[in-house]
Amino acid sequence: MSKLKGVSEKSLNNNSRIVGLLAQLEKINADSAESDTARYVTSKILHLAQSQEKTRREMTAKGSTGVEILLSTLENTKDLQTTLNILSILVELMSADKKFGVKARINGVLNITLNLVKQNLQNHRLVLPCLQLLRVYSANSVNSVFLGKNGVVELMFKIIGPFSKKNSGLMKVALDTLAALLKSKTNARRAVDRGYVQVLLTIYVDWHRHDNRHRNMLIRKGILQSLKSVTNIKLGRKAFIDANGMKILYNTSQECLAVRTLDPLVNTSSLIMRKCFPKNRLPLPTIKSCFHFQLPIIPVAGPVAQLYSLPPEGLFFLSSFYPQHPLDCMRHMDDVVDESDDNDDTDLEAENEIENEDDLDHNFKNDDIETDINKLKPQQEPGRKIEELKMYEHLFPELVDDFQDCDLISKEPKPLVFEGKVRGPIVVPTAGEEATGNSGSLRKGVAAKAKVSPKGAEGDKKPAFVDLAKADAHDNDRTLQQQLGDQNRTISSVHGFNSDIVRALDRITLQNIPSQTAPGCTAGVKKDYSLPLTVVTCPKACPHMAACGNVLFEGRTVQLGKLCCTGVETEDDEDAESTSSVEQASVEVSDGPTLHDSDLYIEIVKNTKSVPEYAEVAYPDYFGHIPPPFKEPILERPYGVQRTKIAQDIERLIHQSDIIDRVVYDLDNPNYTIPEDGDILKFNSKFESGNLRKVIQIRKNEYDLILNSDINSNHYHQWFYFEVSGMRPGVAYRFNIINCEKTNSQFNYGMQPLMYSVQEALNARPWWTRVGTDICYYKNHFSRSSVAAGGQKGKSYYTITFTVNFPHKDDVCYFAYHYPYTYSTLQMHLQKLESAHNPQQIYFRKDVLCETLSGNSCPLVTITAMPESNYYEHICQFRNRPYVFLSARVHPGETNASWVMKGTLEYLMSNNPTAQSLRECYIFKIVPMLNPDGVINGNHRCSLSGEDLNRQWQSPNPDLHPTIYHTKGLLQYLAAVKRIPLVYCDYHGHSRKKNVFMYGCSIKETVWHTSANAASCDIVEDAGHRTLPKILSHIAPAFCMSSCSFVVEKSKESTARVVVWREIGVQRSYTMESTLCGCDQGKYKGLQIGTRELEEMGAKFCVGLLRLKRLTSPLEYNMPSSLLDFENDLIDSSCKVTSPTTYVLDEDEPRFLEEVDYSAESNDELDIELAENADYEPSTQEEVLSDSESSRTYLP
């Protein structure tokens, strides 16, 4: 004892104390000393281990014999207190050593611990620390299998049992240990074979009934965790269903909803039920698109070739989700539900953890980052012979035209200098500003009620509807004031339109009828060059017309969608006041006529070729859209909404008799007839860009919607655009789009779908608005085929669900994923721009780049300023302007890209002095729609070839990818004639991020994110790729520099951005991504994005190009020398990139509470303990910070 006192003296440091104690304990083991000495030494070691982290680290450090000494003592001692001390020490040490379980198995402690439990099962004081150790051991899969084989699973069921107020701590640890053990499939099968699933459910119900004060929530959750583990295997799920587990957990979880602190139980129950919900197939005859387009050639490899190689389909239907469907139909080989254990999503929750972790980790290693320096270095390769590229000469007449026959502004030669006008500040109206002066009155008529004058009721031969008069073609050069004056006069003349005419509106067919019409019949649609709102003729009798006819057009029949309204609801005084506010808050427009013309749109639609041969026109595309005069904030997500929706889905299985299961819309069945039941909504998507394949009525006011695959594909379901009619006001209708594919969506972060009401449009409110409540996006139980999932098995579809209350009875409403922008709309806008521009100032050409697979033309636009004269100096300056090449809409579902492009085109064609300066600086080559066929046919991502065109830029096929082949050819031609564009930008939309941002290409920044960080210091690179994004971050409210990335990835090597950078040699080659949702920074923080903001972004991009010109050519503008280094000031010399890669950015949203255990990935199987903290609710999303204020450089 005297030696022990010496060891414990204060004069010894901590290190020597623990070493001395362990040495003393080792000597006691060797000498078989008395038990009280061992008890004393182990108690001292326990005290040090509990109080000092340094002691725990030292005992578990490599080379330490501390654990071996403790285990030797544990095996030899007969003293209960010594055993308890050592077990307690081991419990302390396991928290400091992640490999403690492995070390325990190597040192034989598993058997020792297991034997202690078996021999002292009634000694709860001793069993408790043993179970704590077993829980840690079981985290290792090898240990878990070993313990299972030695009867630990059976042992745990001897400890756990029905409700009891005694030994609750022991019960909790035993359940945690059991849950860890059952993660092993071997142990789970053993538990199922012994009937333990039924036992667990019985025990859970007993605890649920008796734990009235909810003091034992952790025990109840422990039982659920064990059920969650055992249902990871197919046998476990079957046993759970057979034991009526779905109903048991559903009923108990509903009873827990009233108590917020029981949310972890509800969440875990929801996880188990969703996992055990039988996997079903989509109720479709095939997952391929219901439309087919025969390709000119079939690819030899890839998904399209695989699709064509599939044998003829059989039919397959649902089993339990739609119980009325038969189960004996043929199974389709490309969509087989595989519920084997190997296909469980056991790794997806961990994957979800990785996807949602902080993307600002600069040490993140991404295997997708390109590390080959030779591949990163731009290598200009013509790719095609110069003789072949000469085919594009006719698309560059600006390089050879001498303008001798043009009526130019000046015939006198002037010095080739830049006017001082470009030195002033650049002002672009922002989306938040009110229109001033005459520009505000330009669209006043949009909001005015359309009424017919009394003379229109006399049955004369004038059209029975009134619109703004079309400007004479010879008056295109009239001043803006004259145009505005004419518009105002016309508006006053149409103010008296009688609503009785509108009340009689019904479906209108544009078809061939005799050219001689009876008196009172309408012979044509009057053109409107300024209003998006047009009231059309009606075929029904009305008091103001002796007769009504149909509208005359030659060519194929085109129909407007059905007007189901009984009449336009009359506006009261309050509505009239709101109309005046609309006039004052109208959108800012350029100083030219508005671009919507309903008559022209119909003419263009007739020549648009679609695979389904659409014969109808959607009213929103016919009427047009103007931005609403109000802001639309990002929707605040109600607590528990996703949980509630999932519970309602589970009710379908539990209460199958309540399910109607009636098909109300079906494109796959050509003989399908629309039900006549007055309470059923009616659907339609048979118009340009429409996408809705099938609708099934589930409950009285709930409908499941299935989207169509991209043509020649069996996946890509995200874009939707469809019509709904037959609704009743004051009724909450729930819509579930059940075959989405992305793992997450901005619908989980405040985004709402868009709705367009025909009634509202007729009441002078022709705009898309964000609507819907109870919106969420989550994984459902419909299985995706491995063919459609890229070979991955066990994948599921996702559901977008939202609830809508319609304001009008029997209205016709349209829903869309984002603001629709059709191919015909683009052609209409281009024609209007062409007809309205001043040819003396603006050089504008609209050429046909090529024809698409279905025979539609792909437009190519050239915009610049006309030369001041046809003298040599001015022609030379004109021809030597640098090129800016822009493209958009390669992905049809990213309609926001077209709205940004519309803003760019309108700004470039405007009479704004800065726009004129911009045209004098650059020649713009623009392909505004790279994928016309995909847009027309309602695809989300692909063209008719069934391929993503933005992955074909490396080797485009002229037969399968003509638009990409010839767009790349244009760029190759420019490179061949030494006119490489200064900037290339491809406009896109992003479905999972907020704000507007850019992706660019940088060797240095790419290498910086690889393991070869040191090598990046030796790379010399012009940092000019960051200049334009940095400029935009200061002038465009929606743009966010911190979301930009300049990393080149292997998976993006065939995209436009990378190929144009690498092969053409354009340093400033970008993808500009616009959010589908809204902004979380800047002026528009907390607001959903609209067309006003998107068009503003397109205009701001132009302003950024003008500032870029000033930075790259300062001497031409007589700028002070202090600005010569301005571009370098914009570049962060440390090459610090906030977001390392575009790959990581796909999942950059901060978490919110409901993602804890039942988010979009919430039915994946790995255990997440975050549900423990699910009893609080954050008020707002975490904010993603942009550049810090200290690091920002402001432009003058």
Kindly list the catalytic residues.
1073
Question: 3-class SS at 266?
Answer: helix
Element (H, E) at 804: strand 796-805
Distance CA 589, CA 580 (A): 18
DSSP string across 714-757: S------EEEEE---TT-EEEEEEEEE--S--GGGGT---EEEE
Helical (H) or strand (E) element with 699: strand 694-699
What's the CA gap between 935 and 666, in Å, rounded? Answer: 21
Token pair of 398 as six digits: 């600006």
Angle at 418 between CA 878 and CA 866, to 5 degrees: 30
Q: What share of the chain is helix, strand, coil (3-state, %, to 5)?
A: 40, 10, 45
Tokens of 1006: 């790419």
Cα–Cα distance, 1196 to 1193 (Å, whole number):
10
Alpha carbons within 13 angstroms on the beta-carbon side of residue 357 total 10
Please report the beta strands in 1068-1191, taking only residues with DSSP state E, as ranges in sequence order: 1068-1075
b (16+ CB within 10 A) / e for 144-156: bbbbbeeebbebb
Q: Provide the β-strand partners of residue 997.
A: 1073
Closest CA to 698 of 673, 733, 746: 733
Return d(Cα 615, Cα 690) in angstroms, integer: 12
Contacts (Cβ under 8 Å, ≥6 apart) of 368: 1049, 1050, 1051, 1141, 1143
CA 181 to each of CA 233, 490, 1162: distance values in angstroms, whole numbers, following the listed order: 14, 80, 22
How far does CA 908 lie from the centroid of its chain? 30
Structure tokens, 35? 């038990």
Residue type, 84: L
Centre a 10 Å sphere on the Cβ of residue 1169 and count the other Cβ atoms it contains.
11
Report which residue type is found at 613: E
Q: What is the distance between the alpha carbons of residues 536 and 625, in angstroms, rounded to a whole number?
A: 16
At 974, which amino acid appears?
A: L
How many CB atoms lie under 10 A from the CB of residue 650?
22
Burial 191-218 (b: 16+ CB within 10 A, else e): bbeeebbbbbbebbbebbeebeeeebbe
Cα dihedral: 889, 895, 899, 900 (round 10)? -60
CA distance 719 to 707: 8
CA–CA separation, 338 vs 279, rounded Å? 9
Q: Radius of gyration (Cα) for the chain, nearest Å?
A: 35
Strand order through the sheet with 682-684: 682-684, 721-725, 812-816, 754-757, 769-770
How far apart, in Å, are the Cα atoms of 603 and each of 471, 493, 511, 721, 821?
18, 26, 12, 22, 17
Length of the chain equals 1196
DSSP structure string for 1108-1120: HHHHHSGGGGT--
Q: Are 159 and 149 in contact (CB under 8 A)?
A: no
CA distance 540 to 500: 11
For residues 369 and 1140, give the distance between their C-alpha atoms in angstroms, rounded to a whole number.
Answer: 9
